Structure 1
Amino acid sequence: MTKIKIALCQMNVIDNKQENILKATSMINEAASFDSDFVVLPEMFNCPYSNEKFIEYAEEEKLSSTLDIISKLAKKNEIYILAGSIPEKENSKIYNTSYLFDRKGKIIAKHRKMHLFDVDVKDGIYFKESDTLTPGNEFNVAETEFSKIGMGICYDVRFPQLAQINVKKGAEILFYPGAFNMTTGPAHWELLFRSRALDNQVFCIGVAPALNEDADYHSYGHSIAVNPWGEVICQLEYGEELKIIEIDLDEIKKVREEIPVLKNKRNDLYEIIEK
């Protein structure tokens, strides 16, 4: 199977975990009704983007009510679900963690955000995830019935080495649930997703929360999908929306034959190596 229906769930995230999970449930069920193969939720889909809230909303993986519900939805609908990310607690540490569920509701991969969002843009945005969160240290490529997929979260997209290593491991789709803001979003969101897709000749997909003007942190929204040619095939606006797209993995082979970037790399001179 080379064609995949992917549902981008740009949901409005509020300061109420139960309501957020109900919204995610509604979008997942709707996506399944359109015969989607793969559903993608935003970064911190059950939690406001706030250091204070990361602590309040954090869940242990084995005791997580959020993950239990997503697992049951994946199994009921026989659908893959990339559960954006949630604040995951392990011992005294909190991680920004994404989980991938297969059609049977089993967790087949997880990714802890490797690069923490610590920025201070003059007259723009200040945020320091490291005040609360701990970075992950593992590259995560998951095997699905369609292809291998590479996992990242938001700020991870700015680091081409992560994408390159995931593609070297065989990933044909790079997923980055993210929550860029109203400073970095207009400046860099589309540019980064087009760059990662173009650099590696893969599909690159980002799903964000909708803009909630009542929240302290304003997400840029604009969930996006880019093809291996670097073309934007879908980009939403600011509001809450479910968008279903179809991609064809055969496009990867076609583009790589036309412009054999990966084949022409000078690995005799330079190489990205995973430690």
Structure 2
Amino acid sequence: MRAALIQMPVTEDKGKNIETACRRLQEAKARGADIAVLPEMFCCPYDNACFRSYGEAEGGEARRALSGMAAELELYVVGGSLPELEGDRVYNTSFVYGRKGELLARHRKVHLFDIDVEGGQRFKESDTLSPGNAVTTFETEFGTMGLCVCFDFRFEELARCMCLRGARCIFVPAAFNMTTGPAHWELLFRQRAVDNQCFTVGVSPARDETASYVAYGHSIAVDPWGSVLRQAGSGEATLYADLDLRRVDAIRRQLPILSARREDLYEVREL
């Protein structure tokens, strides 16, 4: 399965962002991609002041464009994420479209990015966004895939639930920053891959030093052994990672961790 990791710039012009995404999807198809992944908030500046005004309900401009491109190109599209409007709520939502443009999955970010790192980044998504509450997987001809958004990936339980459902790769549209990115980005993608014996793919916006929130970049693909297959720098780039999903089966067979029955290993006693 060839995955295209589209690390694109995100501007204040929503239409331009959508045009950039569509052009990159066309390029990905021309390069033989089976699935293309966009970054978190690919059509909206990552800023609480923007989420509601850039948001869209069902049938919105960005969602129509992604579905149309998936159908036109016969390409799986993991549509990064965008602000989804429902009633008076705004969600940070990733939509996945199949080769016919059909909606395969919708993941509303469960763990909102509320942090205050001393001497570093402070951000509170919960000032504007509402959380989702679902474990999200979707089916392809390559098998089951997992999906989460950025801060979700810090929670091992969510990744494990996806893999217990059969996920062979976890896709993560994300926008780590210049505090958390250098410290934890590669570490987390390698760690989750090893813990769950699966591929992990993280896609970030390109870095813009003039933005109110500066993304780290470094979109990444990691195999189930924890080896980094591809990793970008900070600028605009599209990476292509060929994921041999037979490697998931081989590693799970050689190191039967994920399939081990916990109740067979540990005796539970009341204190």
Tell me which interval the TM-score lies in, with the shorter structure as reference length.
Answer: over 0.9
Whether contact under 8 Å (2:231, 2:239) holds in the other structure is: no
2:269 corresponding residue in structure 1: none
Gaps of 5+ in 2: 267-271
Select which of 19, 25, 30 maps to 1:28: 25
Q: What TM-score, normalized by structure 2, do the two folds share?
A: 0.96
Aligned with 1:176: secondary structure?
strand
**Residues 192-231 of structure 1 mapped to structure 2, 5 A cutoff:** 192-231=188-227
AA aligned opposite 2:103:
I
Alignment partner of 2:112: what SS? Answer: coil
Over residues 8-38 of structure 1, what are the superposed CA-to-partner deviations in whole Å (9 max), with x where a residue is unaligned? 0000001110110011011000001112100
> 1:11 aligns to what?
8
Question: What amino acid maps onto 2:17 in structure 1?
Answer: N
**Does structure 1 conserve the Cα–Cα contact (< 8 Å) formed by 2:77 and 2:98?**
yes
Mapped partners of 1:250, 1:234: distance in 2: 18
How do 1:1-275 and structure 2 match up within 5 A? 4-61=1-58, 63-268=59-264
Q: Displacement of 1:187 after TM fit?
A: 0.2
Find the aligned partners of 1:256 and 1:144 in 2 and give their Cα distance: 20
Distance 2:218 2:156 in 1: 21
Output the CA distance in 2 between the equivalents of 1:269 and 1:86. 42
Deviation readout 1:76-110 (Å, 9 max, x if unpaired): 11100000000000000000000000000111111
Once residues 208 and 40 of structure 1 are traced to their aligned partners in structure 2, the CA distance between those partners, rounded to angstroms, is 10
Helix, strand or coil for the counterpart of 1:244?
Answer: strand
Aligned-residue sequence identity (percent) comes to 49
Distance 1:124 1:268 in 2: 44
Per-residue CA deviations over 1:165-215 (Å, capped at 9, x if unaligned) read 010111111111000000000000011111110000000110000001121
How many pairs were matched up? 266
Matched letter for residue 33 of structure 2 = S
Unpaired segments ≥5 residues, structure 1: 271-275
- The 1:128/1:269 distance shift into structure 2, 3 A limit, reads farther
CA-based RMSD of the aligned residues comes to 1.0
TM-score, scaled to structure 1? 0.95
Which amino acid in the other structure matches residue 228 of structure 1?
P
Rounded Cα–Cα distance in structure 1 between residues aligned with 2:246 and 2:8:
30
| Residue 266 (structure 1) shift | 2.4
Q: Deviations over 1:52-86 (max 9, x none)?
A: 1101101002x311010111111111100000000
Deviation at 1:156, TM superposition (A): 0.5
1:178 & 1:212 partners in 2: Cα distance? Answer: 15
Q: C-alpha displacement at 1:267, in angstroms?
A: 3.1
What displacement does 1:269 show?
A: 6.0
